Chains A and B, each alone.
Chain A
Amino acid sequence: MRRIVMGLAAAGVIAGSLTGVQTANAAQPSNATPSTPHNSPPIITALDCYGTTGNMGCGPGFFWRDGWRGWACYPC
């Protein structure tokens, strides 16, 4: 009986370790390119020169500075 129990225990340990190997391998990325949903347009967030959506009411692509027209919104 004792020999049977020891045998079952040993088999369990081996099976458990094999299962762990499979799990560890599964965690490794097999492909560097993440999967993305197809047929969806890219998400674009308009930002100004400083990475925000505008200062002093300047829209995307413009920023507030003291230039030829004095203080005003100028293109980046």
Chain B
Amino acid sequence: MNPRLLGGLTAALFSAGLTLGAGLAAAQPNDYTALIIDPNVVTDSQAYTAGTPTLNPGGQPGATTVFTHRDGGRTITDTVWVLADPAAASSAINQAQGSTAIANQKLASAAVGSGGQLITGTSPDGTQSLSVLYFTEGNAASAIQFAGPAADPVPSDLVIEMGQKQDALIKSQLGT
């Protein structure tokens, strides 16, 4: 191969890497909104509208966004924390589980990320169905909560599918 061409390709790749890195670095420090998966990737693509993202939910570095279904009766709250290490991520999950009130809880393992757990039940007053998927991916922790009509809980396959897409997004963005 032509050494000059090879050198040019190397330079181009190096430049592209720098550009990508600069793109991530150029975002606001600790602005992790790019880690939030849009639930419309697993719906008819128009079902949910995103609310204004909240940075550093619970005082931990990360982001959370509430997506509201057009029927007004269903919400998906997606939260991702980016912490110092995997142990801190697990700790954040434990803390999040402890602070979420779910009545009539049922716990099941979920094939998402590391230590994926799906907790299903109802709101304490019984008026809503609640399902929350927790998992970690490297030093990131994620909680995705689905709230809807009491008689129409979110299907588990949708939870798993969205969780896996969230996990893939974390991997691609953080390189974990």
Contact = CB atoms under 8 A, between A and B. Distances in A.
Interface of A: 66-72
Contacts of A70: 40, 43-47
A67 to B, nearest CB: 7
B158 A69 contact: yes
B40 to A, nearest CB: 8
A68 B158 CA distance: 8
A76 to B, nearest CB: 12
B157 to A, nearest CB: 10
B133 interface: no
B46 A68 contact: no
Contacts of B70: 66
B71 interface: yes
B138 interface: no
A67 B152 contact: yes
Top 10 A-B pairs, shortest CB-CB distance: A70-B44, A70-B47, A70-B43, A69-B43, A71-B44, A68-B154, A68-B158, A66-B71, A69-B158, A68-B155
B89 to A, nearest CB: 27
B74 A68 contact: yes
Interface of B: 40, 42-47, 69-71, 74, 146, 148, 152, 154-155, 158
B53 to A, nearest CB: 22
Contacts of B71: 66
A70 B148 CA distance: 13
A72 B158 CA distance: 13
A67 B74 CA distance: 9
Contacts of A72: 43-44
Contacts of B154: 68
A69 to B, nearest CB: 5
Contacts of A69: 42-44, 47, 158
A66 B154 CA distance: 13
Contacts of A68: 43, 69, 74, 146, 148, 152, 154-155, 158
6 contacts: A68-B148, A68-B154, A69-B42, A69-B44, A69-B47, A72-B43
A71 B46 CA distance: 9
A66 B43 CA distance: 10
Nearest to A72: B44
Nearest to B74: A68
A75 B74 CA distance: 18
